[in-house]
Structure 1
């Protein structure tokens, strides 16, 4: 009896739809027809399950050894169930004699910000590759890589944010650095940067390399795309986020949106107030606040209204605005939940990570923010006690694993989450 049973492609695709991505990767090697069918199926699955903006972020964070959709989809599927699918390894990565303030990763590179203002660049084997000298004598608050035209290329530039100043370094160190100053808050997306000045002026620009007409020196340049004036008082409680076409700004309780890639080429842009957030104790001046803006969808805040109150963690869904007011769908008084203070917020797709003053790191699966319960974490990682409070977290992906780089005052540790062998 012949074993070659020919089934219609739609029937084969239906059968394959019950397979996870790891199984589909194996089945691709059967023949060319199956390979083509499975690649189409994976593309459909990614489009259906992973939001478009999340997919862009995953591609940016995927190391150069493979940005195929099948690898992104496999990792995404596994991290939907951290408890059952993922096992963790916590190892020391870098020790610095100087105080560490932040960390960032891209492909094979790990950038570490020091209290001297300098940034040290390492590879994955902890070799010091180069140093970016401090243009200001302050500790960096954040570091961001600007990717090349192809994600597999070396980075185009390195952005180092300090208080009120952001330094833009040429990654090859062949071009002179530039400074983006007098900015109360700063954010970036690929080669686009955004800063909000103390007078409320929002500047959105694109980074490029050219020769200065006056000095004839080759240096990093900025092309201004939009200038917008916010009609609000700028305080320390201002946050911004940049995506592929939109800038989101949270100033105290006001949320603004700026489309910086509109069809007209007018530099003067418009900031549209889209909502006001109804914080707990909204009438009380806030001593301190941290916030994550997830596109134009979700805002997560951690606030301390007064010295005699604990931290308050809140989640706002912007689509829930009623007459321009958004109430939090989740609110936690953290003294009732944790014994330590949250010192770092990090959101990567559907994975929320909280870093604490006692060196602990908690991982959460967030499929629906309305059902988030901070008491029900998926994984707790405890650092060495001398690591101290968690200051900064960044992630890089590769086939079958995610590597989280966690910075404390004197250490950077690497937490690797990989597929559990069952």
Structure 2
């Protein structure tokens, strides 16, 4: 018995996203009904808000500007397809046509690709690898590059990290760069920068774009960490700045819409590491609830271990420890997380893809895809997501590769 169209519409409006995708494959009539509802209602926005975890959705929303109904559907399609990393994705590997000596970092945003080198040069290319700009503010290694987007004017700038300085380069205009000296560590989220100075002062500043070429760095929070306590690492992400001070995790919340008064740090958890030999800069805060470290169980062991600290409410902290040499037979040189995908680069040029549905159940032994991109250590990874693909830019010191993941279309 054929149901009236009105009844089918009411049923589909109550379905989750995966059911809607299946319904489109039932028949051309059902497909047209789902497409009609997609145009007339925020159907896929509801699906994204209800089904995609908030901490994953933040990453996707940062890659899309001016969201409309169609883009919400693309976000959901990409999220669902990357749940099956092994069989649901088809991979193409492309070597970049440019030759850049001594690469140290790569960053991607919108239509631009920025590549830093060990001699301090930063080259910006278009998405087709055509040169756009070239600069050299310091004659030392580029440690990190981050894009800051001005969504009101579509203007972008670069935050370039050197061993003791930050440079804000307005590469799309002729404005003079902003230089911050004596910077030990930093993190960027949207137009907010958190940085630690050599003498222990930590600040959160907001980059404000004024009329014309006017740029203002407005400090909205600061604190000072005195010896013998000192920050091991820090990360600003989605309204929360997380700091690891010695072995204690602390945080401060800031409201992106309204700069708060001076706030004290909140104690989140205390880390009790199982590793004895941990080198400097071995800790990394992926998000405000995930901290990882690389090290050895003792000074004589050849094996390398990776330890995950999962932060919870009420100062709860659980941890997982894995022997990376035993699983991957190599040392991890790069860690990158985007949405529901974790990517590990190792010293022999391999890249491992993981689907992470929940960090509590994550196991490094169960990687879904291994891709060989070269023979040199992977030093930097970034991602660009479009409506039809997720493209990972993987860099070694000598070459950049694009790993393009497409959803495998199923025929019904």
Give the TM-score band, short-chain normalised. 0.7 to 0.9
Change (3 A) 1:381 1:372: same
Runs (5+) with no aligned partner, structure 2: none
1:68 paired to 2:59: no
CA drift at 1:289:
4.4
Change (3 A) 1:336 1:175: same
- Alignment match of 2:87 (pick from 78, 84, 88): 84
Q: Distance in 2 between matches of 1:7 and 1:21?
A: 18
Q: Distance in 1 between matches of 2:213 and 2:65?
A: 30
Change (3 A) 1:18 1:63: closer
Change (3 A) 1:178 1:5: closer
- TM-score, normalization: structure 1? 0.86
Quick check: 1:64–1:107 contact (8 Å CA) kept in 2? no
Change (3 A) 1:220 1:308: farther
Q: How many residues align?
A: 405
Quick check: 1:175–1:209 contact (8 Å CA) kept in 2? no
CA drift at 1:40:
3.1
Q: Distance in 1 between matches of 2:227 and 2:248?
A: 9
Please state whether the residue corresponding to 2:328 is helix, strand or coil: coil
CA drift at 1:116:
1.9
1:291 paired to 2:286: no
Could you list the per-position Cα deviations for residues 130-186 of structure 1 after superposition, in whole angstroms to 9, with x for gaps in the alignment?
Answer: 11x222111111111111225xx6443111111121110113232111012222111
The alignment yields a C-alpha RMSD, in angstroms, of 3.1
CA drift at 1:15:
5.8
Runs (5+) with no aligned partner, structure 1: 212-216
- Alignment match of 1:107 (pick from 101, 106, 110): 110
Quick check: 2:348–2:374 contact (8 Å CA) kept in 1? no
CA drift at 1:383:
1.3
CA drift at 1:94:
4.3
Change (3 A) 1:264 1:351: closer
Change (3 A) 1:85 1:8: closer
Q: Distance in 1 between matches of 2:281 and 2:389?
A: 32
Match of 1:124 in 2: 127
Quick check: 2:9–2:37 contact (8 Å CA) kept in 1? no
Please state whether the residue corresponding to 1:278 is helix, strand or coil: coil
- Alignment match of 1:326 (pick from 306, 314, 317): 317
- Alignment match of 1:223 (pick from 210, 218, 222): 218
Q: Distance in 2 between matches of 1:170 and 1:71?
A: 31
More displaced 10-residue stretch of structure 1: 81-90 or 44-53: 44-53
Q: Distance in 1 between matches of 2:348 and 2:2?
A: 66
1:312 paired to 2:305: yes
Q: Distance in 2 between matches of 1:327 and 1:65?
A: 36
Change (3 A) 1:94 1:389: farther
Quick check: 1:63–1:398 contact (8 Å CA) kept in 2? no
Match of 2:392 in 1: 404
- Alignment match of 2:338 (pick from 348, 355, 371): 348
Q: Distance in 1 between matches of 2:392 and 2:66?
A: 16
Quick check: 2:81–2:407 contact (8 Å CA) kept in 1? yes
CA drift at 1:55:
1.8
1:371-382 to 2 correspondence within 5 Å? 371-382=361-372
More displaced 10-residue stretch of structure 1: 291-300 or 14-23: 14-23
Change (3 A) 1:139 1:29: farther
More displaced 10-residue stretch of structure 1: 256-265 or 364-373: 256-265
Q: Distance in 1 between matches of 2:227 and 2:22?
A: 51
Match of 1:214 in 2: none
Quick check: 1:61–1:395 contact (8 Å CA) kept in 2? no
Q: Distance in 2 between matches of 1:399 and 1:368?
A: 25
Change (3 A) 1:229 1:125: same
Change (3 A) 1:334 1:29: same
- TM-score, normalization: structure 2? 0.88
Match of 2:161 in 1: 161
CA drift at 1:353:
0.6
Match of 2:19 in 1: 19
Change (3 A) 1:170 1:15: closer
Q: Distance in 2 between matches of 1:407 and 1:105?
A: 12
Quick check: 1:287–1:307 contact (8 Å CA) kept in 2? no
Change (3 A) 1:204 1:19: same
Match of 2:137 in 1: 135
